[in-house]
Amino acid sequence: MLLKGIDIMAEAIVSILSQEKEGCAESLPEPFSLIILGASGDLTKRKLIPALFRLWKGGLFPDRWYLVGLSRSPMDDEGFRKEVRESMGSLPAPDQEGFLKRFYYLAGDSQDLRYYLKLKKRLLELDKEHGTQGNRLFYLATPPDLYRGIIRHLGAAGLSRTGDGPGWTRIIIEKPFGRDLASAQVLNREITEVFAEEQIFRIDHYLGKETIQNILFFRFANAIFEPIWNRRYIDHVQITVAESIGIGRRAGYYEQAGALRDMFQNHLLQLLCLVAMEPPATFEADAVRDEKLKVMKAVRPVQMEEIGQCAIRGQYGPGVVDGQEVAGYRGESGVMPDSKTETFAAMKLYIDNWRWQGVPFYLRSGKRMAKRSAEIAIEFKQIPHLLFKPLMSEAIAPNTLAFRIQPQEGISLTFQAKNPGPKLCMDSVTMDFNYRDNFKGVSPEAYERLLLDCLTGDQMLFARKDWVELSWSLITPILEFWQNMPDLDCPGYPAGDPGPKEAGELIERDGRCWRTF
């Protein structure tokens, strides 16, 4: 009977989560042009082109659209199409030509205004040829230090209009959006002088993942969970993003960023907001983003004297990952031999509001850890009275609800059940929902969802100006503390370990422990 009940509950959850697939039609974008700055870069080749092809192949594009690639690399339209074809790899060959014929290229310097005047002329010609009605989406797939010049020149060339002509204009900006509070404020000020807030899409690819989107569906489409989603029933929340890889060829970026800038200011704080937010009045972009902003306003700032107890950093050393010996961070190409850049960070945060008062949120992220894993775990409080104490030698494990973000997206609920047999034995069992198994297919890539939302003008999964600045206001004091204390210990951990021991002590002091992965 227990297993039958589990199956019925799992089917109910799957039914709710599959409403979008079975009962909701995806609206097609209007005719458009997509202009990618940084078209010869890694992001464009690895993520954007495959995502665009799958959207086109899936019938989610209008009949009229085209793409213009911008970069310094000298080549013509055919040269660019050849590069695009190569980046598509094993994607279905028979359909590639119909896709590729819509690609164009313009070489030049993104910091030169004359380049944008040429671009404007080319776009007017292509708009007329393809009938795209002047609808344009600019994608900044460039290094962040080029953003300000690009934005300024788009405005000077008249390519950022907000309603003085036919069609719409939007801009996508990749993270990092600034490197601290002051730089984020400057960038926000400069971009809003050229574009209106409703035109700006600050992209965070984590928010395009299926599990992340379904946190809202899970919470607000199920009557059984929301009543216990509060301090009365939840003991604590753990948010983990662990990577087994190192920094690869990104030393130039990572030496300037580190784990706190790279993962916490955007990904992990966004996840925290989705877990902690109140139900929005409507399922619309600003209503959802308003509630996420309220969470950020309620997060208790980490005081200077508490940083050592509430924020831990670490750096991986030589070790073994997946059975292979790997170098430590300081042994990576391009890294300073005495670098103090953190490759791991852990934090304990509190949200000072009625729902979450006293509930700790533990966040951690690191590179060269035992394996790739990302999840949000909601651990519920222990039962108030153990009826089975004469039969049990220790406390039973608490109920835990886990949202698996990667590598296998899904949701699991762990609870206690009696083992079959005449003896009174208890064990933890897990009810598991897996996207691949239940929907018999592969979840779409995050960039597919986010690109489609940009084209339809839906900003729900994108960061707003005020949220960005609040998140930096929380992170910046910790960054400054670490920077101004060069002798502050940055503990090491062997590659393949779950992080420095100090991170374990952070949570163990509270009588809790990190989940294993």
Looking up tokens 């707003």, which residue turns up?
464
Looking up tokens 């290094």, which residue turns up?
143
pLDDT of residue 488: 64
Q: Rounded to whole angstroms, how far apart are CA atoms 391 and 419?
A: 13
Confidence tier at 14 by pLDDT (50, 70, 90): very low
Looking up tokens 């966040």, which residue turns up?
363
Q: In the chain, how many H helices and how many E strands? A: 18, 17
Q: Rounded to whole angstroms, how far apart are CA atoms 451 and 137?
A: 10
Q: Which two tokens stand for residue 149?
A: 């010049």
pLDDT of residue 247: 87
The pTM of the full predicted model, rounded to 2 decimals, is 0.89
Task: Give the number of other CB atoms < 10 A from CB of residue 303.
Answer: 10
Report CA-CA distances (Å) from 217 to 15, 18, 210, 481. 11, 10, 11, 39
| 476 DSSP 8-state letter | H
Contact 360, 350 (CB under 8 A): yes
| Domain 31-174, CATH among 3.40.630.20, 1.10.3720.10, 3.40.50.720, 3.40.640.10 | 3.40.50.720
Confidence tier at 483 by pLDDT (50, 70, 90): confident
User: Is the predicted pLDDT of residue 440 greater than 90, yes or no?
Assistant: no
In the sheet that holds 169-173, the strands lie side by side as 103-107, 65-71, 32-37, 136-140, 169-173, 200-202
Architecture of domain 207-378+440-446+463-508: 2-Layer Sandwich (3.30)
Q: Which burial class, exposed, middle or buried, applies to 270 when counting CB atoms under 10 A from its CB (0-12, 13-18, 19+)?
A: buried
Kindly state the average pLDDT of the residues 292-314.
93
Kindly state the average pLDDT of the residues 85-100.
78
Kindly state the average pLDDT of the residues 297-310.
92
CA angle 460, 461, 464 (to 5 degrees): 75
Confidence tier at 115 by pLDDT (50, 70, 90): very high
Task: Give the number of other CB atoms < 10 A from CB of residue 40.
Answer: 19
Please report, for the chain, the start and end positions of each structural domain, with discontinuous segments joined by +. Answer: 31-174, 207-378+440-446+463-508
Residue % of the chain over a pLDDT of 90: 63
* Chain segment 338-357, per-residue pLDDT in tens: 888 999 999 999 999 999 99
Domains 31-174 and 207-378+440-446+463-508 share a fold: no
Q: Rounded to whole angstroms, how far apart are CA atoms 407 and 434?
A: 11
Q: Which two tokens stand for residue 427?
A: 């064990």
| 264 DSSP 8-state letter | I
Residues in a beta bridge with 173? 140, 202
Peptide bond into 407 cis (omega under 30): yes
Q: Which residues are catalytic?
A: 267
Question: Which of 182-196, 384-398, 476-490 is least confident?
Answer: 384-398
Kindly state the average pLDDT of the residues 222-243.
94
Report CA-CA distances (Å) from 243 to 7, 319, 407, 474. 33, 14, 10, 24
User: Is the predicted pLDDT of residue 22 greater than 70, yes or no?
Assistant: no
CA atoms within 13 A on the CB side of 499: 30
* Chain segment 260-277, per-residue pLDDT in tens: 999 999 999 999 999 999
- List the one residue out of 109, 429, 461 whose CA is nearest residue 274: 461
Contact 313, 260 (CB under 8 A): yes
Q: Which two tokens stand for residue 489?
A: 């210990």
* Chain segment 126-167, per-residue pLDDT in tens: 999 999 999 999 999 998 889 999 999 999 999 997 655 678
- List the one residue out of 479, 58, 114, 89 whose CA is nearest residue 304: 479
DSSP 275-309: HHPPPPSSSSHHHHHHHHHHHHHHBPPPPGGGHHH
Contact 33, 65 (CB under 8 A): yes
- List the one residue out of 172, 177, 458, 461 whose CA is nearest residue 292: 461
pLDDT of residue 423: 67
